[in-house]
Homo-oligomer: A and B are copies of this chain.
Amino acid sequence: MSHLDLEQLREKVDAVNLEILTLINERATVIQEIGKIKEKQGVNRYDPLRERHMLNLLKENNNGPLDQKTVDHIFKEIFKSALDMQEEDHRKALLV
């Protein structure tokens, strides 16, 4: 393969990265909405059963090449980031 192929593949990676960026932010927005509802209901934001459900759904739909352990690891980071963001929002709200 030529140098051009490498450049083309890198452009593809850049494009996919930006699509992933859009989706993790879109996901975070929905999680914020869910957090607001849960706050009104007075229930805990972290729900291990819901997290298990999400990981199972990902497992059922993972066709690779990433193995399930890796997929779980990436998504646990994504789950954690949404919770951290809400904690931060909550702290800021308390300081107002």
Contacts and interface: CB of A to CB of B under 8 A. Distances in A.
A10 B27 contact: no
On chain A, which size bracket covers the interface? 35 or more
Looking at chain A's contact residues, the main secondary structure is: helix
B33 A9 contact: yes
Contacts of A32: 65
Interface string A42-80: 000000001000100110011111110011011101100
Contact of A74 (B1, B62, B77): B77
A32 B19 CA distance: 19
Given A14-B57, A16-B23, 7 more contacts: A1-B40, A9-B30, A10-B50, A14-B54, A25-B65, A66-B81, A74-B74
